[in-house]
Amino acid sequence: MSSLSSGRGPDAPHPPSDQEGRYVSLLTQVMSQPLDRDYQVVAQRRARGAAGSVVEGASIPADDEVKQRSLSITTIAALAVFGVMVGVSALQTERDAPVVRAERSELIEQIRERQSAFAALQGDLNDLTDDVTELQAEVAGDVQGLGTVTRRLDDLGVAAGTVSAVGPGITITVDDAAPASPGSGGVILASDLRLLVNGLWEAGAEAIAIDGHRLTSLTAIRFAGEAITVDYRSLTTPYVVTVIGDVDTLAARFNETDAGQAWIALEVNFGIGFAVTSSDELEVPGDPQERLRHARPREAE
Amino acid sequence: MIAVVGLVLGIVAGLLLQPSVPATLQPYLPIAVVAALDAVFGGLRAYFDGIFDDKVFVVSFVSNVFIAAVIVYLGDQLGVGGQLSTGVIVVLGIRIFSNVAAIRRHLFHA
């Protein structure tokens, strides 16, 4: 290489300049001088040497020939090296190819797998969405059913007396006769009160409370010593009976019943107080249900 | 003719012997092959031009291969190995095309 570098000398100017020393662009230089200038330089020098050798004698061409042959071996060696490189490179590419192909097919397989997984998940999602819609419809139905049940429970509760009730009705205030009044029977008995309540039920009462004690099917009206007890609680006169029902007909229908007739007789004969007032908005409390319950609905089998 | 025999012998030897290339050198083998290809076509053109010289050919072959490998190695160290490989291949490709065009002119006079 050193001999070549020195051989370049003045007749081989360095790129990027053309023969006249003008600047040329790198790409132009690459395109216009693809061949190593060394070939030309060496050829020129050899031409000069050959011209000199003609004058000197025949020994130099023979020497040149020996050199040519010895270098020919290196050329062939270089070409052989090149061949080995090409072969190895091709082999390597060939050897890598299955790996690359395997990787590629594995990637494709992975993509397919993920795609099918995605499709499966999408299907699941659709199913679940359908389920949700179904359940929502069901819940909506249940809510409607619950509303019905709740309303029915309220109705039943009012009828059974377990819940407090409001509505139009009448208030009946009954009181013992004044002490000065004639006769000894001017005291309201428990049976009188029972008669009154039964008459009111007969007249169409929907909810009844005596002095704030709601009457249910289990409420007892009894005597305990001197006092009347309702639901086992002693009451004092006057007794206020709150009745919810039809304001227009309740009092009139009560008067038509046997109980109503009896109470008219009590009022007339013994001076027992009996006053009826009607109002649009009355309230009766619910029964506190302090009893233990043993009975329960028989379940359908 | 003898040169072609050498080339074929080399290819056959490479394919048969399957010499193992060190893993560190493997990335530089393809670019070295392209550089060698440039040297070979340059030599072929010089042969047709009648100015072929063994010494120039061998030196250009070795230096081409070496420099191409070094450039790509440097590029790898700097993180621009791929781009530098592309640049080297573009330049070498242009040279190969030009030389092959000259060879074609010699062979077919066209």
The answer to whether the Cβ–Cβ distance between B6 and A31 falls below 8 Å is no
The answer to whether B25 contacts chain A (CB < 8 Å) is: no
Minimum CA–CA partner of A36 in chain B: B42
Q: Is residue A280 part of a domain?
A: yes
Query: What is the pLDDT confidence band of residue A158, given thresholds at 50, 70 and 90?
Result: confident
Query: What is the pLDDT confidence band of residue A4, given thresholds at 50, 70 and 90?
Result: very low
Give every strand in the sheet of A165-175, ordered side by side: A213-214, A207-210, A239-244, A165-175, A273-284
Q: Both ends of chain B: CA-CA distance in Å?
A: 24
Looking at chain A, the whole-number percentage of residues with pLDDT higher than 90 is 14
Q: What does R_g of chain A's alpha carbons equal in angstroms? A: 62
Whole-Å CA distances, A232 to A175, A176, A221, A223, A301: 20, 20, 8, 9, 39
Query: What is the pLDDT confidence band of residue A17, given thresholds at 50, 70 and 90?
Result: low
Residue A7 has pLDDT above 50, yes or no: no
Looking at chain B, the whole-number percentage of residues with pLDDT higher than 70 is 98
Structure tokens of A142?
């249940």
Residue B110 has pLDDT above 70, yes or no: no
Most A CBs within 10 Å: which of B1, B2, B5, B7, as the mutation test of the A interface?
A: B7
- What does pLDDT average to over chain B? 84
ipTM of the complex: 0.80
Query: What is the pLDDT confidence band of residue A107, given thresholds at 50, 70 and 90?
Result: very high
Identify the weakest region by mean pLDDT among A167-171, A286-290, B49-53, B56-60.
Answer: A286-290
Q: Would you call the peptide bond into A238 cis, given omega within 30 degrees of 0 as the criterion?
A: yes
**Residues of chain A numbered 49-78 and touching chain B (CB < 8 Å):** 68, 71-72, 74-78
pLDDT at residue A54 in the model: 52
Residue A239 sits in a domain whose CATH number is 3.30.70.1880
- What does pLDDT average to over chain A? 79
Residue among B14, B21, B50 whose CB faces A83 most closely: B14
d(CA A297, CA A239): 36
Helix (H, G, I), strand (E, B), or coil: what is residue A95? helix
Residue among B10, B55, B60 whose CB faces A87 most closely: B10
Structure tokens of A153?
């429970």
Q: Is residue A178 part of a domain?
A: yes
Minimum CA–CA partner of B29 in chain A: A89
Residue among B11, B49, B58 whose CB faces A74 most closely: B58
Q: Is residue A74 part of a domain?
A: no
Q: Is residue A134 part of a domain?
A: no
Identify the weakest region by mean pLDDT among A65-69, A139-143, A154-158, B84-88.
Answer: A65-69
Q: A209-229 burial string, b = 16+ CB within 10 Å, else e?
A: bbbebbbbeebebeeeeeebb
Q: How many CB pairs lie under 8 A apart between chains A and B? A: 143
Q: Is residue A78 part of a domain?
A: no
Instruction: Determine the structural domain holding residue A29 and report its residue range.
Output: 18-56
Q: A58-86 burial string, b = 16+ CB within 10 Å, else e?
A: eeeeeeeeeeeeebeeebbebbbbbbbbb
B53-B58-B60-B64 Cα dihedral, nearest 10 degrees = 160
pLDDT at residue A185 in the model: 65
Q: Is residue A275 part of a domain?
A: yes
Q: How many domains does chain A have?
A: 2
DSSP, res A300: P
pLDDT at residue A59 in the model: 42
Minimum CA–CA partner of B101 in chain A: A34
Q: Is residue A187 part of a domain?
A: yes
Phi-psi map region of A271: left, alpha, beta (phi>0 left; psi -120 to 50 alpha): left
**pTM value surpassing 0.80:** no
Residue A282 has pLDDT above 50, yes or no: yes
Residue A61 has pLDDT above 50, yes or no: no
Query: What is the pLDDT confidence band of residue A19, given thresholds at 50, 70 and 90?
Result: low
**B99 interaction partners in chain A (CB closer than 8 Å):** 34-35
Q: Are A79 and B3 in contact (CB under 8 A)?
A: yes
Minimal CA–CA distance to A223: which of A201, A193, A200?
Answer: A193
Q: What is the mean pLDDT of residues B49-73?
A: 87
User: Mind telling me how many Å the CA of B55 is from chain A's nearest CA?
Assistant: 7
**B65 interaction partners in chain A (CB closer than 8 Å):** 85
pLDDT at residue A66 in the model: 47
Structure tokens of B20?
């193992």
The answer to whether the Cβ–Cβ distance between B56 and A89 falls below 8 Å is no
Q: Is residue A101 part of a domain?
A: no
| Pairwise pLDDT comparison (A230 vs A19), residue with the higher score | A230
The answer to whether B100 contacts chain A (CB < 8 Å) is: no
pLDDT at residue A68 in the model: 52
